[in-house]
Structure 1
Amino acid sequence: MKSIIMTAVTLQDVGLVVKRLQWHHHHAANAGLGELGLSLPQWDVLRYLHAQPDASLHALAVLTFQTDQSIGTLAGRMIGRGLIERVSAPGRAVRHRLTAEGERLRLEGAKVVGDVMQRSLGALTPDELATLHRLLLKADPGDPA
């Protein structure tokens, strides 16, 4: 009978698996979203503006893991495509909202991203998924900003 040697899982082992899964999700989502004319960062902006209408560019930068400069460039392109619009706010603040086209693409993009997640995380039972979620939240160092 063959003996099985069990080795301890290291922090690096876990980190690599998390990174590999994130890489897979990112690339598969980008490929699917590309068919809609969107990138993952653009879809993230649409998703967060749906959840937080009138968000500032700085808030969007933090939520989408971008710099203020890169989100400004991205928002400008999205405004040019009619996906989001600038809205006046008190003082000098500029806020942003989804347009009807932005909302349509957000919904279509949600299906694409949902399918990507289903192909990997959908293999987990509801209890396993809840456990994974709880453990990842426990390991999360918090908001980087």
Structure 2
Amino acid sequence: MDINVLELGRAIKQLQNLNHRRLEIGLREVDSTLAQWDALRAIDANPGVSAHALAEETFQTDQSFGTLATRLIAKELVERQQGMGRALIYSLTPKGQHVLEQGLVVAEQVIDDSFKNLSDSEQAQFLALTRKALLNNT
């Protein structure tokens, strides 16, 4: 069977776009955006890392992450401290932890809906194949 790699790439992009749109809609209910919620997730999962590392983790530039972090501070979702040297480090406030947890419920539902037509074993296979493809490209 011949696979059209452009069609494969487009299908992956369509699924990602669909997930992002659904996440944006669902996260509005918890007063967040996908970018904000993903930053909270990254900060929580990587305590004490630099803003640069968090920018990479969230697929943003350093400048974009800095702007986003400023918004999160203004919303009292994160705190910023001086790290080693010039590095800035972030941590969640209790309010930020609450938004993260609420957003996790939304994210799990959206992703579950996206893959509901796949069996558990197909989902596991999809994950394994995606990770394998990523190994070839990192």
TM range (shorter): over 0.9
Q: Distance in 1 between matches of 2:86 and 2:7?
A: 48
Q: Partner of 2:81 in structure 1?
A: 87
CA displacement at 1:91 relative to structure 2 = 2.9
Q: Choose from 113, 116, 125 the match for 1:122.
A: 116
Out of 19, 23, 26, the residue aligned to residue 32 of structure 1 is: 26
- Compute the TM-score of the two structures, normalised by the length of structure 2: 0.93
State the secondary structure of the residue aligned to 1:91.
coil
* Identity across the alignment (%): 39
Q: Does 1:131 align with 2:88?
A: no
CA contact (8 A) 1:54 1:87 kept: no
Which has the higher Rg, Structure 1 or Structure 2? 1
Separation (CA, whole Å) in 2 of partners of 1:87 and 1:54:
9
**C-alpha separation between the residues in 2 aligned to 1:138 and 1:57?**
28
How many residues end up aligned between the 2 structures?
A: 136
Unaligned runs of 5+ in 1: 1-6
Q: CA contact under 8 A between 1:55 and 1:97: conserved in structure 2?
A: no
Q: CA RMSD in A?
A: 1.2
* Partner in structure 2 of residue 45 of structure 1: 39
**In the alignment, is residue 65 of structure 1 matched against residue 59 of structure 2?**
yes
Q: Give, in angstroms, the shift of residue 122 of structure 1.
A: 2.9
Question: 2:51·2:87 contact (CA, 8 Å) conserved in 1?
Answer: no
With normalisation by structure 1, the TM-score equals 0.89
